[in-house]
Amino acid sequence: MLVQGSLPRGELLDRFRELGNAVLVGTSSFWEGVDVRGEALSCVIIDKLPFSSPGDPVMQARLEAMREGGLNPFFDYQVPQAAITLKQGAGRLIRDVSDRGVLMICDPRLFGKGYGRIFRNSLPPMPVSRDVADVQRFFANEPKHEMTAS
């Protein structure tokens, strides 16, 4: 298990690539500028939708200016920005035409909230499942079954 902060970023990524079967735990800073091709990266797990912190003073000022301008800061700014960030995170998984893997998004809002559709539509076309057996078949290289959201 490799954990962000335990080693310099470059060294951590080199070890992750070399080991080939390690788990790398990191924050969203690993969503940009990280290129791990092949089997070393076969699963990306995103614990929650990547909304920016509303407590950030710059973000607060931006959201307030939008409200004053008659916009809905959540739907007009925060959701689209978070959807772009999610797409970047998903992009870490498939870096080459021969890459394959599983993207796991743990946030129930992806299917539980109306705006979850915006996030789902921002991702590349891919089978979707909530059944762990589908993931097990995928990694076991068993015949592909159509995965559907349940």
For residues 78 and 50, the answer to whether their CB atoms sit within 8 Å is no
pLDDT in tens, 101-136: 899 999 999 999 999 999 999 998 889 999 999 999
- Its pTM stands at 0.81
Which pLDDT band holds residue 142 (cuts at 50, 70, 90)? low
> How many whole angstroms from its chain centre is CA 83?
10
The DSSP code for 26 is: -
User: Does 150 score more than 70 pLDDT?
Assistant: no
In a domain, 92, yes or no: yes
Q: Residue 123: which domain range? A: 35-140
| Total tally of structural domains belonging to the chain | 1
> Residue 41's domain is classified under what CATH number?
3.40.50.300
Mean pLDDT of the chain: 87
The residue type at 92: R
Separation CA 16–CA 3 (nearest Å): 10
Counting residues of the chain whose pLDDT is more than 90, the rounded percentage is 50
For residues 44 and 103, the answer to whether their CB atoms sit within 8 Å is yes
Q: Give me the phi and psi of 3, to 5 degrees please.
A: -125, 130
